[in-house]
């Protein structure tokens, strides 16, 4: 049995220690907001936070999360920056098919918590691992800049 803290709540799972966090979230706990894309750490659709740092849950085993805080897209509306980003996302009409967007927002939250006033190069660096088949990159950058200009405190 493995004890995990997810979105502030304790969970116990009985899966092998090398099970990726992604499958634990989706298959064991029903938290399906985190998406499977490539399974190889290349697309960013499975992005979550581990102690506030954006990570790829498809290649991170649950053993790496023991004693740490897992945060998923389901928790975003309870986070000031997350809520501000969601609102900016809607205003800017960012989501198209939507598949990548949970991961995009998780990366954007981590960026703004680390760098409240990011330069374009900071945004590019932070978001470069999140791919979008629908090509929403320009609107994502605009939404991040909107929230940065609002000065929302993390």
List residues binding ligand FES (CB under 6 A).
36-39, 41-46, 56, 58, 95-101, 132-134, 136
Structural element, H or E, at residue 4: strand 2-6
Q: How far is the CB of 116 from ligand FES (least distance, A)?
A: 25
**Closest CB to ligand FES among 36 and 145?**
36
Q: How far is the CB of 117 from ligand FES (least distance, A)?
A: 26
Q: How far is the CB of 65 from ligand FES (least distance, A)?
A: 15
Angstrom distances, CA of residue 41 to CA of 35, 110, 128, 129: 12, 17, 12, 8
**Closest CB to ligand FES among 66 and 97?**
97
Q: Where are the beta strands (DSSP E) in 35-142?
A: 47-50, 53-56, 69-71
């Amino acid at each position: 049995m493995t004890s995990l803290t997810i979105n502030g709540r304790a969970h116990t799972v009985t899966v092998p220690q090398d099970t990726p966090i992604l499958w634990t979230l989706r298959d064991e706990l029903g938290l399906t907001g985190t998406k499977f894309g490539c399974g190889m750490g290349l697309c960013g659709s499975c992005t979550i936070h581990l102690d506030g740092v954006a990570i790829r849950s498809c290649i991170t085993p649950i053993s790496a999360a023991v004693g740490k805080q897992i945060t998923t897209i389901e928790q975003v509306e309870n986070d000031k920056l997350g809520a501000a980003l969601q609102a900016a996302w809607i205003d800017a009409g960012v989501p198209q098919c939507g598949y990548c967007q949970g991961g995009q927002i998780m990366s954007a939250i981590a960026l703004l918590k680390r760098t409240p006033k990011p330069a374009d190069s900071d945004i590019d660096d932070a978001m470069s691992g999140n791919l979008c088949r629908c090509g929403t990159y320009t609107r994502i950058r605009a939404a991040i800049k909107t929230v940065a200009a609002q000065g929302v405190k993390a």
